[in-house]
Every structure is written in structure tokens, then in C-alpha cells.
Amino acid sequence: MDKTSVWTEEETIDDLLLGGLKVIQSRSGYRFSIDAVLLANFVDPNQASRVTDLGTGSGVIALLLYWRLPSAQITGIEIQPDMYNRAERSLQLNHCTDRIRIMAGDIRQIEQLLPPESMDVVVSNPPYYGCNEGKVSLNQEKAISRHEICMDLSDLISAAEFLLKPQGRFALIQPAQRLPRLKEILVQQDMSLTRVRMVHSFKGRDPSLVLVEARKYGTGNTVIMDPLIIYQSPGVYSEEILQIYRGQG
């Protein structure tokens, strides 16, 4: 496959630093960051044979899970046509079409895309901001990826609940301040928190993100994991982050 059929001059091919995987991204549109890597590493690999990534973007999390879960069948769903197209081409570039498929669709219409209770695990790195929070980018791709323009947390959790088998697990990452609202919606959807991990940019600072796992019809206590520190000093990753990038996380 020659270059012109894989990516354009308006795109880049970026190394995921794990498993030799690469992803095609827009130069000017939405580009993945470390939160996608943290979420993929957070997913519990046990009994994860069928996995769906809601809002897969360019397919970063799907690709990382392909590497982490060598027997899993993975489905990515993306509403934005250009990002869907890049995800499809990223699969071809990495020769991953045997275990990953990308679907174009709106998760608010999830019942038209996949059967109910068909997944062991659902993951998502959804928009972090409501439509009235912060400045909405003039770039449509960035705007839809960062703000709840095409869905909100209720839509997302409802779609996850629809897809998950009983006791199936839902993993996602959000700004830390959204945790109370997230817990409220999970309870409404008969999902209980099983694991929570706060993510801090530096030790001693307030958490910026939170990694959450919930279980459909789950019971029991919530495990509060040790905090995850991203940097040991400005521009220098912590040892745990380096282990994740070495494939040891």
C-alpha cells in the first residue's frame, strides 16, 4: 500500500510507542494525548473477549487494546466521518483488521449498531466539557471531541449499559471534578463503581483526571487505587508512566 492510499499531506502518522503501533491523525484536528494511553492501560484484561470503544476517534484506544488483549475482538464506534476514515486506515496500516472493526454511527442510537448485552467490556474517552463549559473550538473535529455536542454523559453511560452483559465492565476517563456527576448517572443506570484511580500531573497537586471502572448490576465496595502521578518533574515522566510505555504497566 503506497503513501497516497494511507495518509494525506494534511495528516501525520504517529508512533504509539507500544507494540510498534502507529495511528493516522489530522495535523489540525483532534489529536490523542496521554489520557488515551492511561485508559487503555487501566482496562482489566480478565474475561475481556469482546470489547467496544465508544467514540473511538482515530482508533488509538482500540489499537492499544489490540496489543494488550491478544485474544479480544474489538469494535470501535465513531460519529465523525473523517475520524472514522482515519481509524479504518490506521487498522490497515497496522494490519489489525483481523480483530478490530470500526463502525460509523451515533451512540445515541446504539440499538441500531450492536446487539444488547453483547460485550464484556466497554471503554470510552469521551468529551470532557459540557456545551456551555469553556471555549468551544472553531475546529469542528476538536469541538465534537472535547465538548458534549453529539452526546453527554447520560447518553454514553446508557449506551454502555445497553451493550454490557450482566457483570460486564465499563471503563472511562474524565476530569476529576466530574466524578460526583458520573457516580450519580451510573447509579441511575444500575451500574456500580468498582475501581477509582485519581490522576495527578505532579505529586502533591490536586487530581486533574479520574479513571473509573463500573460494573453492570455490580455489588460490593469500591476499590480506591493509589494515585497515578504523570510527571516526576516538568517534562519528565514518572517511573510508572515509563513502565506503561515499556509495556510493563
Tell me: the pLDDT tens digits for 59-79?
Answer: 999 999 999 999 999 999 999
Place of cell 465508544: 54
- Residue 149 CA to residue 154 CA, distance in Å, equals 13
CA atoms within 13 A on the CB side of 126: 26
| pLDDT score of 249 | 63
Domains of the chain, residue spans = 3-32+44-170+177-191
Q: Which residue positions in the chain have pLDDT lower than 50? A: 1-4
Q: Which CATH superfamily is domain 3-32+44-170+177-191 in?
A: Vaccinia Virus protein VP39 (3.40.50.150)
- Residue 28 CA to residue 100 CA, distance in Å, equals 26
| pLDDT score of 18 | 87
Backbone phi and psi for residue 91, each to the nearest 5 degrees, phi listed first: -60, -45
Is residue 126 within 8 Å of residue 54, measured between CB atoms?
yes
| pLDDT score of 5 | 54
| pLDDT score of 205 | 97
